[in-house]
Amino acid sequence: MGMINLCQYKELSCFGCCGHTWGGKREVLSQIDKNTLIYQFSTLEEFKERGRDRLSASGGCKSLIKKDGRIVCGLHPLQHEGKDHRDKNCQKKYLCKAFKAFLEWDAAKQKRFLKFIDGKKLNNYTYSMGMDSDKLLKEFETSEK
């Protein structure tokens, strides 16, 4: 099956671990749109130095942007030919419980989880919040019993 990255799965982008005390969908996505505009019209250094507190009022990191139809970190190495511009506030090695569990499952169970996710018809916000809160993992585990 190859390595599946649950953070960027098909058309879904998960940003659940890039913040906390999240606001509502409209508030969060509006902030990501604002971040994207700032990213487009700033130098990388200006974008990077927008303040020590990386969390916006909506609960998300100020580095979250939209790029090529996905929600990504504007400072992530994948956006800069491998150079990492994230700072000490970012938990770079963090994996949510669902992704940790997914990596430990056999291929058959991974396929069932992906089919479960596909069947939910999620958007980026509901996917992110469901992964971050472990709601999707719990629902899947319950459905497996």
Helix or strand (DSSP H, E) at 114? helix 107-120
Whether residue 8 lies inside any domain: the answer is no
CA distance 38 to 30: 13
pTM: 0.90
Whether residue 109 lies inside any domain: the answer is yes
Q: Do 87 and 114 fall into the same domain? A: no
Helix or strand (DSSP H, E) at 12? strand 12-13
Q: Do 103 and 70 fall into the same domain? A: no
Q: Give mean pLDDT, residues 88-114.
A: 92
Q: Do 82 and 35 fall into the same domain? A: yes
Whether residue 72 lies inside any domain: the answer is yes
Whether residue 77 lies inside any domain: the answer is yes
User: Does residue 98 carry a pLDDT above 90?
Assistant: yes
Q: Residue 81, Cβ neighbours under 10 Å: how many?
A: 6
List pLDDT tens digits, range 24-69. 999 999 999 999 999 999 999 999 888 556 688 899 999 999 999 8
